[in-house]
Amino acid sequence: MTHPLDHLPRAGHGSDGAALAANFSDLHPPLTQRQAFIESQRCLYCYDAPCVEACPSDIDIPRFIREIAEDNVNGAAQTILEENILGGSCARVCPTEILCEQSCVRNHDAECQPVLIGLLQRHAIDHMRFDGHPFVRAADTGKHIAIVGAGPAGLSCAHRLATYGHRVTIFEAEAKPGGLNEYGIARYKLIDDYAQREIDFLLEIGGIEIRHGQRLGDNLALDTLKRDYDSVFLGLGLGASRQLGLTGEHAPGLMPATDYIHQLRQTDDLGRLAVARRCVVIGAGNTAIDMAVQMARLGADAVTLAYRRGVESMAATGHEQEIARANGVRIVTWAQPERILLDDAGRVTGMRFARTESRGGALTATGETLDIPADAVFTAIGQAFDDASLSDRRAAVLEREAGKIEVDGNFRTSLAGVYAGGDCVAAGQDLTVQAVQHGKLAAQAIHQQLMAQQEVA
């Protein structure tokens, strides 16, 4: 099958390999031990800490920071991992600037600078040195739970269930576990195979098996899982990229940003990646930013990010937008995709946008257009639930909400014994840390239900 970017030059063409590698080094260098100690002293250890209220995974932030200040790094790591077993990756990718750090009371102090909670969390996890695994499996309950999807939600659910003494089998479609952390995060945010090393640590608790090449709706059926296991958790994520709905959508030179990021994260040689000298990224979220910045760091001459509304409506945080600008990405707003421009061979040569404005809150075309030349166009206009995963007889009856799986407050679906969490459910912010929390809370609900049934029996 022809790759949509086969006609483009490689990143290594005329590039310094060392410089290319440096462009994908750590976005935010870690704190030194001295820096972490000094930063921990800035925390006021608030009793009713607003940072904890803002943390989707309920980490006791003042407690772990105090433990760092007391030179008890293992204690700090334990405090974090008890609530968020993927605390290391979340410290790197979580938008702390709009969560815990935005709520820090230091923002209102004379220094107007929050405690660097994310970097302190990373410091604790990176420097923990336990003699053995910090979590111990409870006695085997004899119960066996199936989890579909080895992303953050599924892994979090599996680990918590294992601590309760249940056996867990995770069914994963891809060749590696990790989901978004492995395949969808900018390479400069999670470097040095960190996602896999974190999963190796998680699995050390025991009692968790991962079976790869298993895709719900293809070679795996919900009916079979319900029959063979005591409970089922669906951590399916969002597997489909939304389409522009324009003629030429499958032309050479146009592809979903997530597909390119997937390739970028899995390659062993950045120099072999196709690079558009002039590229356009369509979207306004963190994936769009990740795509634009990475193309710039691979050596593109001109990178434009286009969005149909204003900057204030962009889903990407202000921090992410600043990263884009610092890397030379041009952000064009009030521009809605209208036409894919193609050459005589049917390859992408650019994108035509309709200029827009807001009239009475409604997005309206002004009648003007803007053409942006490009060798490649990447779409990052959102992920959608892959309906094919719920195509078997039993899965098809699951209640849906806004195109996703509907769950109640305990992450129970409309099918008894089937739970769901992460990006595939209607509730949530589509954040890694939110998915981890969903998995943890679903595991608690599954455990309570199984134990209640055992008592009745």
Q: 420-433, pLDDT tens digit by residue?
A: 999 999 766 678 99
**Predicted local confidence at residue 160, as pLDDT:** 98
**Predicted local confidence at residue 63, as pLDDT:** 96
Overall average pLDDT of the 420-449 stretch? 91
Overall average pLDDT of the 427-450 stretch? 91
- CA-closest candidate to residue 350, choices 362, 341, 358, 360: 341
Report yes or no: 39 and 31 within 8 Å, Cβ to Cβ.
Answer: yes
* Higher-pLDDT residue of 120, 384: 120
**Predicted local confidence at residue 21, as pLDDT:** 84
Tell me the sheet residues that pair with 341. 350
Q: Which domains does the chain have, with CATH numbers?
A: 33-126 (1.10.1060.10), 144-239+386-456 (3.50.50.60), 241-383 (3.50.50.60)
CA distance 181 to 178: 5
- Has residue 360 got a pLDDT over 80? yes
Q: What is the pLDDT of residues 290-332, one digit of tens each?
A: 999 999 999 999 999 999 999 999 999 999 999 999 999 999 9
Share of the chain above pLDDT 70, in %: 97
**Predicted local confidence at residue 289, as pLDDT:** 96
- CA-closest candidate to residue 372, choices 333, 406, 430: 333
Please identify which residue in the block is written with the tokens 């455990």.
Answer: 447
Mean pLDDT of the chain: 92
List, in order, residues 6 or more apart from 216 with CB less than 8 Å away. Answer: 148, 171, 173, 222, 234, 236, 389, 390, 392, 395
Q: How far is CA 339 from the centre of its chain?
A: 30
Overall average pLDDT of the 431-453 stretch? 95
Overall average pLDDT of the 369-397 stretch? 90
List, in order, residues 6 or more apart from 453 with CB less than 8 Å away. Answer: none
* Higher-pLDDT residue of 3, 413: 413
User: Quick one: pLDDT band at residue 13, thresholds 50, 70, 90?
Assistant: low
Ranking 5-9, 208-212, 216-220 by mean pLDDT, the lowest is 5-9
**Predicted local confidence at residue 328, as pLDDT:** 96
* Higher-pLDDT residue of 294, 6: 294
List, in order, residues 6 or more apart from 10 with CB less than 8 Å away. Answer: 271, 272, 273, 274, 275
Cα distances from 208 to residues 197, 211, 233, 244, 417, in angstroms, run 16, 10, 14, 40, 19
Cα distances from 87 to residues 41, 152, 170, in angstroms, run 21, 11, 20
Provide DSSP, 224-281. Answer: HHHHHSSEEEE-----EEPP---TTTTSTTEEEHHHHHHHHHH-S-GGGSB--SEEEE
* Higher-pLDDT residue of 203, 361: 203
Burial 348-362 (b: 16+ CB within 10 A, else e): bbbbebbbbeeeeee
Overall average pLDDT of the 239-263 stretch? 91
